[in-house]
């Protein structure tokens, strides 16, 4: 019997890649499953989802703009319009279940589905649930979470601890450390730092690294540096004198290679990044993005730091503290091993399959 599933949400790679992982797992369980994505017009999912081989419909929806209140004037109109469009999509597609992965399109789709009596499932990626998911959680059938203590946001009897889905090319990567270092043109005699700030880069991490480049080379270390588009040219110019040791990339498509090459990772604390780091078992220094909704990145990172599974530097302190924390960690073999071991216990490489089974279980 063919099942029809809508997966709604997106906005960033952190929402899109787990959503695609869930879709792939649903197809693996039952190849006949008919899957439709719903995203926000103008956002990354409108390009990434078709690339993954799935159809997508777009809603004209945006989030609340905290930095410019006047930009919110059209928001109520956009919400009403997207609720109407959501209703039309439900009538056309007739899904058995609607899955929300977070992001702008999640709210109107799930709200409408709940009103029509269609079962809904929420995949809450962060350790601090956003306002919309808390509202939707009241009428959802199941809520899949990746952190403990989520019963302060959701009804306890609906919560299923699944972990966050990670892309197959990371969970099932067969690349060796030597292959990975060779790919980036680096030496297997030196220790490697991998700095990554999400798909758009991280200004504070990038600026802190610029001033550390001479020290990194002097200490016979090497760096794989994903800068994001806005900082790429500046980073390339700063790294030019150290081209053998510092490899600058605007965006890295082969994340499994970058993780495998790394001895230490410097990262933001988005849910997807953390899920990947738990699976690849790397010592991490987190620099949470402080302007994420409800400061959830700090909450995500602290969840690991409190379990001795990571280190943290505040965004506004990274310029002053990064060198000290990074170089002392690389000298402390015992601490590196402890971080690796503890973070490894928190990963779930099969989260996509576990969530897919929960989705099919509520139909």
In the chain, CATH 3.40.50.2000 sits at: 4-164+349-361, 170-344
Q: How far apart are CA 160 and CA 27, in angstroms?
A: 21
Sequence-ordered list of residues with C-beta below 8 angstroms from that of 130, at least 6 positions apart, any chain: 102, 293, 294, 296
- Has domain 170-344 been given CATH number 3.90.1150.10? no
In the CATH scheme, what architecture does the domain 4-164+349-361 have?
3-Layer(aba) Sandwich (3.40)
The owner of tokens 């306002």 is 131
Query: Over 312-329, what HEC string results?
Result: ECCHHHHHHHHHHHHHHH
Largest distance between two CA atoms of the chain: 64
Per-residue confidence in pLDDT tens, the chain, 363 aa: 899 999 999 887 778 989 999 999 999 999 999 999 999 999 889 999 999 999 999 998 876 666 677 777 777 888 899 999 999 999 999 999 999 998 889 999 999 999 999 999 999 999 999 888 999 999 999 999 999 999 999 999 999 999 999 988 899 999 999 999 999 999 999 999 999 986 666 899 999 999 999 999 999 999 999 999 899 999 999 999 999 999 999 999 899 999 999 999 999 999 999 999 999 999 999 999 998 888 999 999 999 999 999 999 999 999 999 999 999 999 999 999 999 999 999 999 999 999 999 999 999
Give residue-wise pLDDT tens across range 74-132. 778 888 999 999 999 999 999 999 999 988 899 999 999 999 999 999 999 999 998 88
């Amino acid at each position: 019997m063919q099942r029809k599933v809508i997966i709604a949400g997106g906005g960033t790679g952190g929402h899109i890649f787990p959503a695609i992982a869930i879709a792939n797992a649903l197809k693996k369980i039952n190849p006949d499953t008919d899957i439709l994505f719903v995203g926000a017009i103008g956002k990354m999912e409108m390009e990434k989802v078709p690339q993954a081989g799935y159809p997508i419909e777009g809603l004209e929806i945006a989030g609340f703009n905290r930095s410019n209140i006047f930009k919110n004037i059209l928001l109520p109109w956009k919400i009403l319009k997207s609720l109407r469009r959501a209703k039309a999509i439900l009538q056309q597609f007739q899904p058995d279940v609607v899955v929300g992965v977070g992001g702008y399109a999640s709210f109107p789709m799930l709200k409408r589905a709940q009103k029509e009596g269609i079962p809904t499932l929420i995949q809450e990626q962060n350790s601090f649930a956003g306002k919309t998911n808390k509202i939707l959680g009241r009428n959802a059938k199941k809520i899949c979470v990746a952190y403990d203590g989520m019963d302060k946001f959701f009804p306890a009897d609906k919560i299923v601890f699944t972990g966050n889905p990670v892309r197959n090319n990371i969970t099932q990567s067969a690349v060796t450390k030597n292959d990975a270092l060779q790919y980036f043109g680096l030496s297997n005699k030196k220790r490697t730092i991998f700095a990554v700030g999400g798909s758009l880069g991280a200004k504070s991490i990038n600026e802190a690294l610029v001033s550390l480049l001479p020290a990194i080379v002097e200490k016979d270390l090497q760096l794989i540096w994903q800068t994001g588009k806005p900082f790429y040219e500046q980073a390339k110019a700063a790294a030019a004198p150290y081209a053998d040791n510092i490899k600058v990339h605007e965006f890295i498509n082969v994340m499994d290679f970058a993780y495998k090459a790394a001895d230490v990772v410097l990262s933001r604390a988005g849910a997807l990044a953390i899920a990947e780091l738990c699976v690849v078992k790397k010592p991490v220094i987190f620099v949470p993005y402080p302007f994420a909704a409800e400061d959830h990145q700090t909450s995500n990172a602290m969840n690991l730091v409190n379990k001795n599974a990571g280190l943290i530097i505040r965004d506004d302190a990274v310029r002053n503290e990064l060198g000290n924390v990074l170089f002392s960690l690389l000298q402390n073999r015992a601490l590196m091993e402890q971080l690796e071991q503890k973070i490894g216990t928190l990963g779930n490489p099969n989260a996509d399959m576990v969530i897919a089974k929960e989705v099919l279980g509520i139909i």
